[in-house]
Structure 1
Amino acid sequence: MAKWGEGDPRWIVEERADATNVNNWHWTERDATSWSSDKLKSLLLGLRVENDEGSCEVTEVSKVEGEASINNRKGKLIFFYEWNLKATWTGMSKAGIKYQGSVEIPNLSDENDMDDLDISVSLNKDEPETPLVHLMKSKGAENIREALGNYVGFLKSEFTQGMILPTVNGVVQLQSSQSKAKTDKTRISSSSSSSSAAAVNTGVKIPTCKFTMTEMFLTSPADLYKVFVNQEMTQAFTHAPATVAGEKGGMFRLLGGNVLGQFTELVRDQKIVMKWRYNNWPCEHYATVTLTFVDRSSETELRVDCRGVPDDDEDWTKDGWRRFYFEAIKQTFGFGARLF
């Protein structure tokens, strides 16, 4: 007979106060159907596209039929989802004429690649022909496909919180099954959602790093500060819908939900401190990012201090800040530093 503490480590429970699923050995399952239904509606409702002919917007999600669940076995997450969706789109021509049609997605499933998703766009029978149908079939369908890809990403990040528990030594290896469904492989992209969970200390330990970046902008600290806390300005430089509540405790989500977090300290025109993360980082792991705005006469020096970035993502995170923040802000608002 094994002595106390020398048994099969998969069954050791005395080292966890809650004695729950130690080493993630037992099969656990979580129903994601209700959460998924709400998430799908929030991602699709309000999607808008426009061109020289007019604009189109998803104004109703009339059908969300299906189910979704996540299983954990030996620290491996297995995702299942299958949905049949129908929505209504409303168009408005430049002449002020309204049109209405429908969108059907019958095969959103873990068995299908996102690129193979059927998105059927049609105009209601009693409506006259309009070029806006082509707009919805092209750009509209593209945005819908991207939103559904974001749903899969959120399912695998937000909803899985707590399903992989820390092992006896406090370290966990996150794994997921090889699902055929492919989410947007660009780690930064577009769409929005206002929900974001508060950070919880799960006890999971990962190696992290800290680094500092500085950049000069040809504008005042006040104008540069607004770019980060104003929703309309954030949407402008990211070229996509975003949710930004520019106040202490306010949440933000941008770039297709791939970047999210919360403002923890705001000193007007001087400093912003935030919890900041990519949505594919381990669940509930946030970096602390501090933005300091320094007045350099006709320019502003922006100092970005990042702490808690996963070691493996250091270079990628630095590159993301340069491309999707620094360069994008300069190009959008004309804040490029003066050349001497």
Structure 2
Amino acid sequence: MAKWGQGDPRWIVEEREDGTNVNNWHWTERDATVWSKGKLRELLVGIAMENEAGRCEISELKQVEGTVKESGAKHKGLIEIPSLSEENDVDDTEVNVSKKKGDGDILKDLMKTTGTAKVREALGEYLKALKTEFTAGMILPTRAVTTQELTVERTLAENSLQVQASPVALGVRIPTVALHLTELFDTTVEQLYSIFTVKDLVQKFSKSPAVLEAEKGGKFQMFDGNITGEYVELLTNRKIIMKWRCRNWPEEHYATVALNFVPAPGQTELQLDCKGVPVCKEENTKFCWQKQHFEEIKGLLQLTTQNA
């Protein structure tokens, strides 16, 4: 396996203008929905417009409130943003304004003019933040992937803001490799399995504090937080499947690790399959498993035998 950047033809996608997903590239996905709701609320709520006729303010994501200066009458209206895309000029974004029954056309006109301009300005700030603030810590490993489709549609219904931001891949294409390692341990299947699932034993071989919830969906943290993840499946004394990552990997990117415990005469063979390792972290990941896990576990087993 060639190192990243050495021109291995298997990674020819590095030179493709369209960034086509070949050779089993891996997408890291992040759902922008929750973040988008908070960011839009931060940017839109509180926007105010005023002229000689009246004053309007976006009081909630779902509505605008206004007051007519001459009469003091108060009115409420709605805003709808049918679609918003970073592919189009934000100044072309459609902003629809409607009001509830009653007078208040002068306030509606105020929103359509001054209000629309301010809303579009806020939406422009949102799109900038989507590509910078939201993606902070995520790595763009190729030259080809420099512009990304960040189409996020919003519909402001009468009673709620529906931010429809599907879990799109925000420009993070990570070339990955799969590792397969086997190691023999002079111990029983039961004991080796427990070393990966019992907190005290994990702390002994890792020589550091650990957090361990050895159950399906349980979290774990090892080596002072440098290794974190989640147990996906545990078949007692047979198999463990985990979501697994190193701290210095791209944010929210996990490999899938499967540990198979195979009994052998007087020993146990551990078969490790690790899929989704970033190419640039291949050697570090091998070192982590071979040196920091396997060798340290063997040392712990020897010490246990000597003290028995």
TM-score interval (norm. to shorter): 0.3 to 0.5
Structure ranking higher in helix proportion: 2
TM-score (norm 2): 0.47
Structure ranking higher in strand proportion: 1
TM-score (norm 1): 0.43
